Amino acid sequence: MSQTREREIVAINVDLSCDQHCEDCEKFFDCENPEKEKMFNRRRMQRARQLMSRLKHKIAVVGGKGGVGKSITTANIAMALAMRGRKVSVLDQDFDGPCIPKMLGVTGRRLSLSDTGIVPVEGHMGIQVVSMGLILQDEDVLTWFHDMRRNATEEFISHVDYGDRDYLLIDLPPGTSSDTVNMMQYIPDLAGAVIVTIPSEVSQNVAKKATLLCQIFLILARSIQAI
């Protein structure tokens, strides 16, 4: 009889090739190839930089695990800052389950276009909201893959007329993959991140991964800004 040996899986490499398209690479934060830093000088990345420079503080709300309260935390922080007289914008980066419009009382309204770009919906206390929930109907279901999700992120960061604001809060979806990494690449000067979790061990373990991603990103962003 043949004996079957169990072996530990130490890594999974989907694609080991490099096509120099750093913007689309899932290994962006682990790669040490100096070519990747050229992406920040490309046209659309430069536009994102210019537009984001008008927002003083950009803060991501991260959790990794779904259902831990990221969206309600984002909404509460936005309201607290607005009550202090700050100009606040909220970017709902959760394309599949956008909750921010309902939590900030702008459900049923729609984003519009102007000569200067997409116009955010303005809610209570002057809080601006940008979300797929202000584009899709309630019964619509997204079946987007990586490139389409990245394009949506680019539109919400590079082509929205936020104006001059004190804070941009970004409500990130569960996980630490495509949508989260796309946002971090387009906003290299994040002021920080709020990590949201609950007492369960499962949620805290995933939150640790989200924290590690934020730490890696901040180190990378500082190194790029120093160039």
pLDDT at residue 106, as a whole number: 95
CA 76, 222, 22: angle at the middle one, nearest 5?
95
pLDDT for residue 15 is more than 60: no
CA 225 to centroid of chain Cα atoms: 20
Percent of the chain with pLDDT over 90: 32
Non-local CB neighbours of 16 within 8 Å, separated by 6+ positions: none
The stretch 167-185 carries a mean pLDDT of 84
- Contact between 63 and 95 (Cβ < 8 Å): no
List, in order of start, the domains of the chain with CATH numbers: 54-225 (3.40.50.300)
Torsion over CA: 83, 86, 87, 93 (sign): negative
This prediction has a pTM of 0.78
pLDDT for residue 177 is more than 80: no
Going along the chain, which residue ranges are E strands? 55-62, 88-92, 112-114, 117-119, 121-122, 128-131, 165-171, 192-195
pLDDT digits (tens, 9 = 90+) for 133-144: 898 877 777 777
Per-residue DSSP letter, 160: B
